[in-house]
Structures are given as C-alpha cells and as structure tokens.
Copies of this chain bind each other. A is one copy, B any other.
Amino acid sequence: MTAVVPSARAAGATCCGLATSPVTAEDAERLARMFKALGDPVRLRMAAMIAAQPELCVCEITPAFDLSSGTISHHLKTLRDAGLVDSERRGTYVYYWIQPEALGTLSALLAVH
C-alpha cells in the first residue's frame, strides 16, 4: 500500500486488454486455467524450455528437474490440457511444442496500450 500514484492511474486511463475484453464468467474459467498452468515455477520453466525450441523431447525435459518422471508427466499434461502446448509420440520418444496462439491470446490480454 504505497502512497505513490502510478501514471496510468493519474491519467485516468484504463490499462490493457483485460480492461476492454469481455471477461465473462466462462471466459474467465478458460483463461484462468491457462494462467494457472503457468502459475507454477516448474511448469513455467518447462514452458520456457519448450518455447525455446521448435520441439522438445520429454527425455530432455526430465533431467532438467529434480523430480520423478511421473511428476514431469503430470505437469506436461497440465500444460497440454490448458492448451499451451501440444505433443506427439514419435517412436520411442514423445515431443512437446508450444502453441503460440495460446500464448498470444494471454499476451494480448495483458498488453498495455
């Protein structure tokens, strides 16, 4: 509770996509699920790793964390269920990649304008 008055507030301006998008109760459910998926440090780092490559094998994600393979799978499923990534098995390995549209939706929602 600082006493500082942010510029956007002083200017009387609204700040971002959030302000103008129709965030109905249903929209909120779907969007909140995406934000929630990014709302865990492990999943956020996973998403960052995946976003940095065209696609990434689970076998490369697993050793980057000090977690059981079951837990890794669980987190990846959460990201996939939220629509932030998609995956495909190719032979022995499973590959994950980012869904840029989903990230773009969230980015636009938060973008200051």
Q: A residues within 8 Å of B by Cβ? A: 1-4, 6, 8-16, 18-21, 23, 25, 28-29, 31-33, 35-45, 47-48, 51-55, 80, 86-89, 97-100, 103-104, 106-112
Contacts and interface: CB of A to CB of B under 8 A. Distances in A.
A112 B33 CA distance: 20
Given A9-B55, A98-B8, A106-B110, A39 B35 contact: yes
Given A52-B14, A107-B16, A39 B41 contact: no
Nearest to A4: B86
Contact of A51 (B3, B16, B54, B86): B16
Given A6-B99, A112-B100, A112-B107, A44 B19 contact: no
